Structure formats: structure tokens, C-alpha cells
Amino acid sequence: MTTDREGGRRFAWGHRLLRRAFVLFLIVSGWIAVMAGVMFVAEPAPAALALGGRGELLDRLPADVRMMRSSRHMLVLTSTEPGYVRRVYAAGAWLVLPALRNGCLDLRGYKRANVAS
């Protein structure tokens, strides 16, 4: 009987860990879905992170969309024309998320308030 209880405890611990991992997966997936939806509807960010086949996406990229950075499966794009996210999806992007022009620490575009020189 002691062996059965210990096995049950180990299974319960693994089950709790699996359940927490699943909840974390749902939270991250939901966050990505919300960010992609907001980017599709409102285009609030100064640039877009487009995920997909880089080669085919570059070949079909609209003329008004400018590439800022790239890697194997990702492009950072920007445009001055509204609706460019829809055109990037039409060009073959799998997912388009908001991005900053110069990475996470892009602070050059913000004015400092109450800073004495």
C-alpha cells in the first residue's frame, strides 16, 4: 500500500505540472492572438514583425513596405501607408505582430519631458 500512495503522489505532482504548463501555453497563445488581432485591425506599432517563409515573402512584398531587418523566418517591416499589414498577409506572411523599429529598447522617438540640459 505504501508503494501505491507514493506512485499516486508522483502522478498527482506530474499532473499539476502538466496542468500549469497547459495554462501557461493558453495564456501565451491568447496574448499572441490578441497582439496579432490588434495589429491587423489598428496597426498601432511603428513596425511589424512578419513570420513566414522569408524568400517567398520578400518576392511578393508590396512596394510601399520597407524591410528593416530579417532572419531566416522573420522580417521586420514598416510602411507609411495604412493597411500594410493586410498586404503583408496577402504576400504570404503566416503571422504579423507589432514590433519597434530598432528593437525592444527603441527610445529615440520619445521626447523627454522636464529634462534640463
Q: Which three cell numbers stand for residue 114?
A: 522636464
Q: Which residue has the cell 508590396?
A: 62
Nearest residue to 62 (alpha-carbon basis) of 72, 50, 73, 71: 50
pLDDT of amino acid 55: 83
**At residue 91, does pLDDT exceed 80?**
yes
User: 13-71: per-residue pLDDT in tens?
Assistant: 888 999 999 999 999 999 999 999 999 999 998 899 999 888 888 899 999 999 998 88
Domain residue limits, the chain: 2-99
Quote the pLDDT of residue 117: 43
Looking at mean pLDDT, say which of 4-8, 63-67, 69-73, 104-108 comes out highest.
63-67
Phi–psi pair at 68, nearest 5 degrees: -105, -45
| pTM beyond cutoff 0.85 | no
Q: Among 49-53, 59-63, 90-94, 102-106, which is the least confidently predicted range?
A: 102-106
